[in-house]
Amino acid sequence: MSNFESLGLSEQLLESVKKEGYTVPTPVQEQAIPLLLKGRDVLGVAQTGTGKTAAFALPVLQIMAREKIQGRRNIRTLVLTPTRELAAQINERFAAYSGNLSIYHQVIFGGVSQKPQVKSLRRGIDILVATPGRLLDLIDQGFVDLGSVEFFVLDEADRMLDMGFIRDIRKVLKLLPKKRQNLLFSATMPSSIADLASSFLNDAVMIDLSPEEITVERIDQSVMFVQKQDKINLIIDIVNENQIKRGIIFTRTKHGANRLVKRLDRSGIESAAIHGNKSQGARTRALAAFKNGDIPLLVATDIASRGIDIEGVTHVFNYDLPNEPESYVHRIGRTARAGKSGVAYAFCDESESGYLVGIQRLIGKQIPQFTDHPYHFPKAIPKPNQKPGKIKEPKNKNKNKTPQSEQNSGQRNNNRNKRTRNRRNRRHKKSD
């Protein structure tokens, strides 16, 4: 295994690395840093939590530090990322690594006032970290010029596409100089990402860290089979029994996250939710409270949690199993950082057994079953030869209930008849 000294980093950056407590580079850092320092384009398949921010931030800073800027500073590096939280964290990393360098950076995202962001842009910056929506807004208003960009980073590309940002990305690409160095990171590599990568990467070197490598042995994984209504009691028991100080709970929906926070609160367990319906201020406050240890639990959806990189997370709960197997790998990667161990619990109800099959197929192994708990529900265990994906929901016991479509149709007919009667009444009144 190499060390940071062998990667070609400057003394100033090595000092920053040491200050951050890094001892040895992660696999993605070991592979990416030398390539980027040589001016190569890189296509990286890696999850959040593998150290990829340092993998691109350190060489970018070193390359930029070679040239002394005189006069007004123009944006030389653009980092595009899907979520506000991830953008803020990448900007924090640039701040940590550039302490010894005369390089200015700024983060811009929606959900907050643009005035401070515009003020910083007007002063001149070297590095811009942005989400697509706010970036294009400020470009349209004339506050951002991408004509001097030398280094372009597209982070979490698969999530970008999932969130519908593909058009925005292509708009940004058209505004960038043709001569530049590029880096694309994605947790997965479907054909849509491969097509996007080929459209702007030049003779890129591919770095592939498979999900199997990410689900490290340091994570103690287990799955518990339980009825949906018993999940809340199970998680309360586990949290109290283990006196968990820093854990993340994943739900599939925003409403589910809110409900869970309320139920935990009624049980005397402090937590906060983070999801797309929360204001940026609320999301920032929740993250800060979790980071500071003011609350022990953060309840999150996949979209909102993308990019959350918080040290010291000991437990991850898949309260709802994700319908995308890759998301499971991404979720449990929130723990066991920096060489530490972690625990990952997966709750599986009867409707989720197909999801479990897909997850186990992706990671290439069976997740150990934990059945020694009071809510064990054997019917939720996947059937032999069950296919990945969601199994059929339990049949509706109220068979005589009118289907929703029929209810809607009936309602429409009632409304139509009511309007007809009203028209008739109006005609009668006129004739009277």
250 domain-assigned: yes
Residue 381 Cα to chain centre, angstroms: 29
CA dihedral 173, 177, 178, 184 (to 10 degrees): -50
pLDDT given at position 381? 96
- What is the total count of domains within the chain? 2
327 domain-assigned: yes
Residue 299 Cα distances to 106, 115, 262, 334, 394, angstroms = 28, 31, 11, 13, 27
Residue 36 and residue 185 in one domain: yes
Residue 59 and residue 202 in one domain: yes
Tokens of 14: 């090595």
Give the integer Cα–Cα distance in Å for 50 and 338: 9
Tokens of 220: 């103690």
Mean pLDDT, consecutive 10-residue stretches, the chain (432 aa), reads: 84 91 88 95 83 93 85 91 91 92 94 93 95 96 96 93 92 96 89 92 88 61 97 96 94 94 96 87 88 94 69 93 86 74 94 94 89 96 84 43 36 43 45 39
What is the CATH classification number for the domain harbouring 81? 3.40.50.300
408 domain-assigned: no
Residue 78 and residue 129 in one domain: yes
Residue 151 and residue 193 in one domain: yes
Residue 197 and residue 301 in one domain: no
Residue 284 and residue 336 in one domain: yes
pLDDT given at position 343? 94
Amino acid identity of residue 2, one-letter, is: S
Residue 357 and residue 225 in one domain: yes
Residue 52 Cα distances to 20, 183, 235, 238, 431, angstroms = 15, 11, 32, 32, 79
387 domain-assigned: no
Q: Which of 183, 209, 235 represents a domain boundary (last residue)?
A: 209
313 domain-assigned: yes
Residue 62 and residue 202 in one domain: yes
Nearest CA to 363 out of 380, 347, 344, 349 is that of 344
Crossing angle of helices 84-97/52-65, nearest 10°? 50
Residue 128 and residue 114 in one domain: yes
Residue 332 and residue 363 in one domain: yes
CA dihedral 293, 295, 297, 300 (to 10 degrees): -100
391 domain-assigned: no
Q: Which of 161, 190, 209 represents a domain boundary (last residue)?
A: 209
Query: Which residues lie closer than 8 Å to 379 by C-beta, 6 or more apart?
Result: 225, 350
The answer to whether 131 touches 110, Cβ cutoff 8 Å, is: yes
DSSP annotation string for 347-368: EE-GGGHHHHHHHHHHHTSPPP
Residue 222 and residue 200 in one domain: no
Q: Which domain holds residue 293?
A: 213-380
Query: Which residues lie closer than 8 Å to 107 by C-beta, 6 or more apart?
Result: 87, 88, 90, 91, 117, 128, 129, 130
Q: Which of 184, 209, 234 represents a domain boundary (last residue)?
A: 209
pLDDT given at position 371? 95
Q: Is 378 exposed, middle or buried (0-12, 13-18, 19+ CB in 10 A)?
A: exposed
52 domain-assigned: yes
Give the integer Cα–Cα distance in Å for 106 and 118: 10
39 domain-assigned: yes
Residue 346 and residue 198 in one domain: no
